[in-house]
Amino acid sequence: QKEVEQNSGPLSVPEGAIASLNCTYSDRGSQSFFWYRQYSGKSPELIMFIYSNGDKEDGRFTAQLNKASQYVSLLIRDSQPSDSATYLCAVNILYGNKLVFGAGTILRVKS
């Protein structure tokens, strides 16, 4: 079992819709969870981080964490074509600085 799993997609949504990206992780001791956006040929850009169970909202983005189910998700409301990118879920596996990434989900927002 991979440590961090994501559906590779592509996930296609129409402009203005809600995009839902999901991620599961295997280490119950994981402390923190991150979503990065990566455009083709560019470096990962931090979108959201979440440490506690529940929802965290920032603008059009909402991160959701359920530690009991070992599940973290990212919702993007009012999706725009500029949101088309690969979204990487990352989990702090060890107590410290090691970040493990999922394979990434390709999101395509169609206008």
Partner 1 sequence: DTEVTQTPKHLVMGMTNKKSLKCEQHMGHRAMYWYKQKAKKPPELMFVYSYEKLSINESVPSRFSPECPNSSLLNLHLHALQPEDSALYLCASSPGGSGGTDTQYFGPGTRLTVL
Which stretches of the chain are assigned E, i.e. beta strand?
4-5, 11-14, 19-25, 33-38, 45-50, 54-58, 61-66, 71-76, 85-92, 99-101, 105-110
Q: List Cβ neighbours of 19 (8 Å cut-off, separation of 6 or more).
A: 11, 13, 75, 76, 79, 83, 107, 109
Q: How far is the CB of 9 from partner 1 (least distance, A)?
A: 12
Based on CB atoms, which residue is closest to partner 1, 24 or 104? 104
- Closest distance of CB 25 from partner 1, Å: 13
The least distance separating partner 1 from the CB of residue 17, rounded to whole angstroms, comes to: 25
Question: Given the complex with partner 1, which of 39 and 77 has the nearer CB atom?
Answer: 39
CB of 76 to partner 1, least distance (A): 19
Closest CB to partner 1 among residues 18, 94: 94
Nearer to partner 1, 91 or 109 (CB): 91
